[in-house]
Amino acid sequence: MRKFKTESKKLLDLMINSIYTNREIFLRELVSNASDAIDKLYLKSLTDSSVQVDQANLAINVAFDKDARTITVSDNGIGMTADELEKNLGTIAHSGSEEFKAANAEAQGDAVDIIGRFGVGFYSAFMVAREVSVISRAYGSDECNRWTSDGVEGYTIEPVSADDPAYRSEPGTSVIMALKENAEEANYDEFLSEWKLRELIRRYSNYVRYPVQMLVTKSREKEKPADAGDDYKPEWEDYTELETINSMTPIWKKRGSEVTDEEYAEFYKSTFHDWVDPARTFSLHAEGTLEYDALLFIPGQASFDLYSRDYEKGLELYSSNVLIMEKCADLLPDYYNFVRGVVDSADVSLNISRETLQQTRQLQAMARRIEKKITGELESMRDNDREAYEKFFENFGRGLKYGIYSSYGMKKDELAGLLLFWSAREQKMVTLQEYVAAMADGQKAIYYAAGDDRERLAKMPVVEAVLAKGYDVLLATQDVDEFCFQAMRDFTAKGLPKTYEDDAAREAAEKAVADGAEPEVEDRTVELKNVTSGDLDLASDEEKKEAEEATKANEGLFDAMKDALEGQVEKVAVSTRLAADGAPAVITSEGPLSLEMEKVLAAGPEAGEAPKAVRVLEVNAKHPVFEKLRAAQEAGDAEKVKLYAGLLYNQALLVEGILPEDPVAFATQVCELM
């Protein structure tokens, strides 16, 4: 027996027990090696006219023997001599494929794609096998040799005589694995079944360019005997047939004209276990320093676990048609976590087990290009198929908003244009770009109201007041909306018709357009404002003056109301946002924390420590209730002032969708008034 070197033994032990984490990938590695061996022979035939290869007969065979507890992977590729067995299998981490690829770099083309890189994939067989035998005959040689090892101490290499049943009469290699005995932590018998081997081939090696064949058991009805009577019952028999398990040609490598929408949809549903056709299918083909193909899908509906902690994002990653990772999370940003698809590149840098992708500039470049492609497709859907986009946004819009919030607004330039909100004036979903384009003259901000119900928001006094001014209000009903807007702060609308400061400039521009010039456009940045937060600056100078005078004249009343509310509000003031026939009072907030954000945080896991908004009670000085308050104050009826203050405050809270802190006390106050 030839001994493994000490460092090789350590590496082999590390590789079998640590590098690979999923034992079932052994078949992927051996099939990939077999594909490489066939590729080498095919390339040799392209460069050496004496080498004749019948491409139609090139194939990989997988077989199992349940009684002997063996699995065999065979190919009719280039094969190995005894020296090559020593060199390639006796030295851990020596890659014959990588060496061959480097030596034949110029000769390789689209017809040949060597998969192997590191020379350790073969040893993954020892995760399931107690002993591995490799029987190989090199092309052009009459010698056949056997390499055998238990993966512990060393290996043997010996010739195989022509009268030995294991002798190969044709060039190629057979890898025979004698499986380990079952243990408490592992059931190796599962690999000795037709369905399991078929599953592994289809999962990991479905798109290897050569047929992966296996004898499969099928059933058929026996021929009816000629002398069978009328009471004859059909009989069935089992038979075996050599079947190609893999599909070989990946759908993402085909031209778009060669694939129908139905075929794309079927691939999507079967691969990603969905029963609804994708809302959008698109592909990406990159050439140059980094080459890869991508086939991406936007699902037609959100998966049930999309917003759960257990959901895993990621695209299937292939290297030369061999599945490397089922979910490569690094290829998708979190806000596009709903996208499904496959990416295939022979250029990605893999670690030696192929199970973990190294963080490289190549990966980052692919991720950036994929993200840009997804954004472009969503913009196209938004502009050209609005109905489909609104359905998409209903399913996945929350994630886009969260992408802006979680990036502290850094991603607003990429994502803000994709957002949709309900327009109180237009009574439909609109983009922020559409909102700004339709803004009234003199409007300085995008106004929105945040809450949990569109109908309730539309009836809020502050919303009605803004609409009365001729300004639209966006009704935001998801819990992330307010946080998204706070992170954005403002929005820049692109390519809007240019506005002119004076009539002369406008007339000159109009004349230029009439003479054939292109209309001038500009980008316009507008602030986002919650209608319940701060000063909206919608009142005229006269209205502001009236409010200031009324506040000053009733300073004593407002101080008494604030005291009566016992610290629940920061101040009481006259409102400039309520119409004379509007609500008697409204709750607003000052500072960055709005009432809606307070509600969302209060519903979270740390509700007891959630911060409170700085509340302001704004009263309508033109409402009849205000006169009742003044009369009570002037009469010195402190109890009535306290009663009215509590009623107005709790009523305003209810309009905001917030329950009074003491509902019993509120009910008692109503009864007292009655």
Question: Tokens 């082999």 correspond to what residue?
Answer: 12
CA distances from 435 to 52, 158, 411, 431 (A): 69, 80, 20, 6
In whole angstroms, give the CA distance from residue 197 to residue 203: 10
Count of Cβ atoms closer than 10 Å to residue 424 Cβ: 22
What are 311-314's contacts with CB under 8 Å, separation 24+?
A: 311/337, 313/337, 313/338
In whole angstroms, give the CA distance from residue 626 to residue 612: 27
Contacts for 128 with CB less than 8 Å, ≥ 6 apart? 23, 26, 71, 177, 179, 180, 188, 191
Burial class (CB in 10 A: 0-12, 13-18, 19+), 118: middle
The reported pLDDT for the residue numbered 100 is 44
Residue (of 641, 592, 588, 596) closest to 615 by Cα position:
588
CA dihedral of residues 347, 349, 354, 356 (deg, nearest 10):
-130
Question: Tokens 């009574």 correspond to what residue?
Answer: 427
- Asked if 331 contacts 259 with a C-beta cutoff of 8 angstroms, the reply is no
CA dihedral of residues 161, 164, 169, 170 (deg, nearest 10):
-90
Burial class (CB in 10 A: 0-12, 13-18, 19+), 227: exposed
Residue boundaries of the structural domains of the chain: 2-217, 251-384, 389-530, 541-673
Is the domain covering 541-673 a CATH 1.25.60.10 domain?
no
- Asked if 163 contacts 37 with a C-beta cutoff of 8 angstroms, the reply is no
Amino acid at 567: G
Count of Cβ atoms closer than 10 Å to residue 77 Cβ: 28
**So what CATH class is 2-217?**
alpha beta
In whole angstroms, give the CA distance from residue 404 to residue 409: 5
Alpha helices per DSSP H over 407-554 = 412-415, 432-437, 454-458, 461-468, 481-488, 503-514, 541-553
- Asked if 191 contacts 160 with a C-beta cutoff of 8 angstroms, the reply is no
Q: Which residues are annotated as part of the binding site?
A: 29, 33, 75, 80, 88, 95-96, 173, 354
Cα Rg of the chain, angstroms: 37
Q: How far is CA 379 from the centre of its chain?
A: 17
Alpha helices per DSSP H over 1-60 = 6-14, 26-47
CA dihedral of residues 263, 268, 270, 274 (deg, nearest 10):
-130
- Asked if 28 contacts 204 with a C-beta cutoff of 8 angstroms, the reply is yes
The encoded tokens of residue 193 equal: 């079944």
Amino acid at 132: V
Residue (of 461, 515, 324, 489) closest to 404 by Cα position:
489
Number of H helices, E strands in the chain: 20, 23
- Asked if 62 contacts 78 with a C-beta cutoff of 8 angstroms, the reply is no
The reported pLDDT for the residue numbered 353 is 47
- Asked if 482 contacts 451 with a C-beta cutoff of 8 angstroms, the reply is no
Which residue numbers in the chain have pLDDT < 70?
A: 4-21, 91-120, 349-360, 606-608
In whole angstroms, give the CA distance from residue 336 to residue 670: 51
Q: Terminal CA-to-CA distance of the chain, rounded, Å?
A: 103
Query: Can you name the CATH fold of 389-530?
Result: Rossmann fold (3.40.50)
Instruction: Indicate the CATH number for domain 251-384.
Output: 3.30.230.80
Q: Which residues are annotated as part of the binding site for ATP?
A: 29, 33, 75, 80, 88, 95-96, 173, 354
| Angle at 335 (CA atoms; ends 268, 591), nearest 5 degrees | 155
Chain length of the chain: 674
In whole angstroms, give the CA distance from residue 463 to residue 578: 10
- Asked if 111 contacts 42 with a C-beta cutoff of 8 angstroms, the reply is yes
CA distances from 42 to 168, 245, 256, 464 (A): 19, 22, 28, 76
The reported pLDDT for the residue numbered 172 is 96
In whole angstroms, give the CA distance from residue 141 to residue 79: 9
Question: Tokens 């979680």 correspond to what residue?
Answer: 406
CA distances from 557 to 120, 149, 368, 491, 586 (A): 84, 95, 60, 41, 17
Instruction: Give per-residue burial for 6-43: e unless 16+ CB within 10 Å, then b.
Output: eebbebbeebbeebbeebbbbbbbbbbbbbbbbbbbbb
The encoded tokens of residue 161 equal: 């005589």
In whole angstroms, give the CA distance from residue 557 to residue 621: 12
